[in-house]
Amino acid sequence: MFNSDEYQRVSDFLELVKPGTPWCIPTELFLKLNGNVKRGKFVNQSINELLKERGLVSSPSIEAADYYGDVIVSDPRDRFARHEGATSLPLSAFPSDFDGVIYFGRETPVSKIKAKMVSFDISQIPILSSDQKQLHGVVTWRSLALASDSPEPLRAQDVMAKAGHVASSGDDFVELVDTIIAQEYVLYRVPDGRINGIVTASDLARAFDGTASIYVRLQELENRLRILLDRSPLPELQKHLEGRRQEMSGFRGATDMMFGEYLSALKDPNIWAATGIGFDQDSCLSLLAAAKEVRNGVMHFSSGPEDESQAEKDGHAAVIRALRLLRAIPTS
């Protein structure tokens, strides 16, 4: 585990990573060394470009990592169980407008809570102990409305509602969608026990605006395919690169393959057997071929949900079915 004050730049850290010598680093520290506090499109892109320039990979990818967890940076030719976290998106990787969670204590005047909720346009504020480890309740607009007839000055403990499920920062966001919809939010704990994050129904709506949901599913599908393909020797995979790409030097395995090349490789009986996919090959390849077409479409922004054709809807359904099959295959 890398956790040193000796290095101040991400490039210094990456110099430590050699073939056969992977390094594990806290996600938060990795970002800090790159000069960042939060993730975003351009931050993720800059880190991925740095890794690519040096011929390195991170597992999980920086955009899909638990902010309070770790990533392993390695030479892609190293063979070790680096893909064990094949979740689609941990809660702490979810976009947030705030650094941590906005909260108050039990004695906070309701007037102060309302001012914060209005000025920050938020609908839920957790009521926590001073160390953020004990959750007393949650103040919402609904709980405020139910207590609005009281003639006495109210404090947080007088108007808070009972809190619902509290997740962990590394829990799979997709698995918690139903909970977020039902509760209108989900709070999560970070590894030191503090409640320091929240994902709301409004966040959910923003995340799935446009074609975001299919991006998440396609990312997970491709990650899982790479894991399974990398169970075969590099020379066997390289045979399935297109045209002159077969002469690629420093071929690193599935991470250097295109989606069509995945499909070509999976038609090879030996590679198919090595993946451990125990389902009908033709059925799986048919679904994955449909997923390839969807991927090509969304990567070129061919349409949004408001103008989806029936063919595109069918393609998205194929992606979901293919992902269900791949989720049934152990990745470790």
What pLDDT score does 45 carry?
A: 83
Distance from C-alpha of 215 to C-alpha of 222, rounded to nearest angstrom:
10
35 and 137 in a single domain? The answer is: no
Question: How much is the pTM?
Answer: 0.58
Q: Are 110 and 81 in contact (CB under 8 A)?
A: no
81 and 38 in a single domain? The answer is: yes
Within-domain flag for 101: no
DSSP 97: S
Cβ-based neighbour number of residue 306 at 10 Å:
6
Q: Are 188 and 91 in contact (CB under 8 A)?
A: yes
199 and 121 in a single domain? The answer is: yes
* β 23-26/57-59 pair status: unpaired
149, 177, 203 - which closes a domain:
203
Radius of gyration of the chain (CA): 23
Dihedral sign of CA atoms 240, 233, 223, 22 in order: negative
236 and 195 in a single domain? The answer is: no
Please give the chain's pLDDT, 332 residues, in tens. 776 667 778 888 999 999 888 999 999 999 999 998 888 777 888 898 899 888 898 888 888 888 998 999 998 877 654 444 445 678 888 767 777 899 999 999 999 999 999 988 899 999 999 999 999 999 999 999 887 777 777 999 999 999 889 999 989 887 888 899 989 999 999 999 999 999 988 887 776 654 467 777 888 999 999 999 999 999 999 999 998 899 888 999 999 999 999 999 999 999 999 999 999 999 999 999 999 988 876 644 334 444 456 777 788 889 999 999 999 998 87
Distance from C-alpha of 214 to C-alpha of 222, rounded to nearest angstrom:
12
DSSP 106: T
Within-domain flag for 143: yes
Distance from C-alpha of 222 to C-alpha of 128, rounded to nearest angstrom:
40
Range of the domain at 253: 212-327
Distance from C-alpha of 217 to C-alpha of 89, rounded to nearest angstrom:
10
CA neighbor of 216 nearest in space, from 173, 258, 250, 253 = 173
